[in-house]
């Protein structure tokens, strides 16, 4: 299939492709999404084929007007309404029992549907010119999510109809996913809206155990996406948990051919290996913004192993930690303090 590049001020063409049942990669404020008409099961099925995504992993439906939400879910309860008023448009995905119109391809056989109202003007305009869009991240299944049009092109050229040539994504990690189909509401994936912000808006919110740990054997994934190996470069990533000096010492002791450090800006001068910085130690938003580009860079520069400093879990740090520990396949070394 020939993939075309569409400039962001020529969205009519992208909307036509969607309405014909095709696939278009679009920028959002979190990561690029691979979009199809959410109510066209055959179109949605093509997303799974293009990404190599397991069919039991459900998709998020993107809307550009609150009124579209009502048709997609059975009802919108009070807490959901508050979350939408507080965080939409923006990087929050809300799961509720689904309406009958949602194809099985979108919900992957679950009786719920995930909905998000993105803040990105290009995503909004594409939805307004077409229909609500089912869209996972526009990467090949398992690889780091794309945060610029080039990442999408590298993964998807020849597999989809079009890529919209938009800007780099501002948030850089995917949306926070919260389910209101259980009580109390539960975060299934941390992201651009923090757990602290959610609690401030609606009170008690729990965090699914799969956010921080691998699924235990026999455990059912509340969010099917959590059970797959994710965000992984081809290189091996090993997380080192400990203070800055211990991190630097460990990496320098293990320096060698093909080995790099995924580190904080402040650590660069002390490291004796090639470095890829994910940002300043206390700037979680910057780390989120750079993380996926940094993970791709590990492969682009041909490293076989990168030691990464284990991120903090406060605020948006939790989203960075959640992605990083999956990229590392949960391989963590605890350093002595
Ligand atoms: O920021 C984002 O959310 C991006 C942009 C494109 O909007 N999209 C995204 O989609 O990250 P995806 O498919 O890569 O991740 C969606 C996650 C998966 O882990 C999936 O299992 C979960 O949300 N999910 C979707 N629908 C669900 C449902 N009904 N119940 C539980 N988990 C669900
Ligand atoms: Mg994804």
**Distance of CA 31 from the midpoint of ligand 2 (Å):** 9
228 band by pLDDT with thresholds 50, 70 and 90:
low
Q: Does the structure show a pLDDT above 80 at 102? A: yes
Average pLDDT rounded to a whole number, residues 275-300: 96
Q: Which two tokens stand for residue 152?
A: 């999408």
Give the separation between CA 156 and CA 162, rounded to whole angstroms. Answer: 9
The candidate with the shortest Cα–Cα distance to 93, out of 59, 126, 50, is 59
3-state class (DSSP) for residue 38: coil
List % helix, strand, coil for the chain (3-state, nearest 5).
Answer: 35, 20, 45
Q: What is the pLDDT of residues 27-66, one digit of tens each?
A: 999 999 999 999 999 999 999 999 999 999 999 999 999 9
- Three-class secondary structure of residue 314 per DSSP: coil
Q: Going by CA atoms, what residue is nearest to atom 15 of ligand 1?
A: 136
Q: What is the pLDDT of residue 220?
A: 76
CA of 38 to the centre of ligand 2 (A): 17
Residue 337 has pLDDT above 70, yes or no: no
| Sequential DSSP letters for 258-307 | TEEEEE-GGGGGG--S-EEE---TT-HHHHHHHHHHHHHHHHHTT-SEEE
Choice from 174, 180, 211 to test ligand 1 binding pocket (greatest atom count within 8 A of CB) = 174
Residue 14 clears pLDDT 90, i.e. is over it: yes
Q: Which residues line ligand 1 (CB under 6 A)?
A: 28, 30-31, 33, 57-60, 91, 93, 95, 107, 110, 112-114, 116, 118, 135-137, 174-175, 177, 188-189, 223-225
Mutational test site, ligand 1, from 171, 185, 223, 319, max ligand atoms within 8 Å of CB = 223
Task: Identify which of 36, 59, 149 to mutate to test ligand 1's pocket (most ligand atoms within 8 A of the CB).
Answer: 59
Q: What is the structure's pLDDT at 224?
A: 76
Check if the beta carbon of residue 185 is closer than 8 Å to that of residue 168: no
Q: How far is the CA of 226 from the centre of ligand 1 (A)?
A: 10
pLDDT band at 3 (very low <50, low <70, confident <90, very high): very high
Q: Which of 56, 58, 112 to mutate to test the pocket of ligand 1 (most atoms within 8 A of CB)?
A: 58
Atom of ligand 1 nearest to the CA of 224: 21
Task: Work out which ligand 1 atom sits closest to the CA atom of 138.
Answer: 6
Cα–Cα separations (whole angstroms), residue 9 to 30, 62, 269: 20, 20, 43
Question: Does residue 103 have a pLDDT over 90?
Answer: yes
pLDDT tens-place string over residues 149-188: 999 999 999 999 999 999 999 999 999 999 999 999 999 9
What is the DSSP code (8-state) at residue 20?
T
Spell out the long-range contacts of 84-90 with Cβ–Cβ below 8 A and sequence spacing 24 or more. Answer: 84/117, 86/197, 86/201, 87/193, 87/197, 87/201, 88/116, 88/117, 88/119, 89/64, 89/117, 89/118, 89/119, 89/124, 90/29, 90/117, 90/118, 90/119, 90/192, 90/193
- Give the residue, by CA position, lying nearest to ligand 1 atom 17: 225
Instruction: Tell how far the Cα of 315 is from the centroid of ligand 2, in angstroms.
Output: 21
Which residue's CA is the nearest one to ligand 1's atom 19?
225
Question: Which residues lie below 8 Å from residue 83, measured CB to CB, with a gap of 6+?
Answer: 92, 94, 178, 180, 198, 201, 202
Name the token pair of 153: 């092109």
Among the bound ligands, the one closest to the CA of 226: 1
Dist CA 276 CA 274 (whole Å): 7
What are the residues whose beta carbons fall under 8 Å from the beta carbon of 94, sequence distance 6 or more?
80, 83, 84, 114, 115, 116, 178, 180
């Amino acid at each position: 299939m020939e993939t075309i590049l569409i400039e962001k001020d020529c969205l009519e063409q992208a909307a036509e492709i969607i309405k014909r049942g095709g696939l278009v990669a679009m920028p959002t404020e979190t990561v690029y999404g691979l979009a199809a008409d959410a109510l066209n099961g055959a179109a949605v099925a093509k997303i799974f084929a293009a990404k190599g995504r397991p069919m039991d992993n459900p998709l998020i439906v993107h809307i550009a007007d609150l009124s579209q939400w009502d048709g997609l879910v059975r009802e919108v309860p009070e807490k959901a309404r508050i979350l939408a008023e507080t965080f939409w448009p923006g990087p929050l995905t809300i799961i509720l029992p689904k309406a009958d119109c949602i194809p099985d391809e979108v919900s992957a056989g679950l009786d719920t549907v995930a909905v998000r109202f993105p803040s990105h003007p290009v995503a909004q305009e594409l939805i307004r010119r077409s229909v609500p869009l089912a869209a996972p991240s526009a990467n090949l299944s398992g690889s780091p999510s794309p945060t610029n049009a080039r990442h999408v092109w590298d993964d998807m050229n020849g597999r989809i109809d079009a890529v919209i040539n938009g800007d780099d994504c501002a948030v850089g990690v995917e949306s926070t996913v919260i389910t209101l189909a259980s009580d109390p509401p539960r975060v299934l994936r941390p992201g651009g809206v923090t757990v602290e912000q959610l609690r401030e808006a609606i009170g008690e919110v729990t965090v699914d155990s799969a956010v921080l740990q691998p699924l235990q054997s026999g455990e059912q994934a509340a969010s099917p996406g959590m059970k797959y190996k994710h965000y992984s470069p081809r290189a091996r990533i090993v997380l080192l948990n400990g203070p800055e000096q211990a991190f630097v010492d460990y990496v320098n002791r293990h320096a060698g051919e093909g080995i790099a450090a995924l580190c904080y800006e402040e650590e660069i001068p002390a490291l004796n290996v090639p470095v890829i910085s994910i940002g300043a130690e206390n700037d979680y938003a910057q780390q989120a913004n750079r993380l996926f580009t940094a993970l791709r860079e590990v492969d682009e520069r041909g490293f076989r192993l990168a030691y990464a400093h284990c991120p903090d879990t406060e605020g948006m740090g939790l989203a960075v930690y959640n992605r990083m520990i999956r990229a590392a396949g949960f391989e963590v070394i605890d350093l002595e303090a």
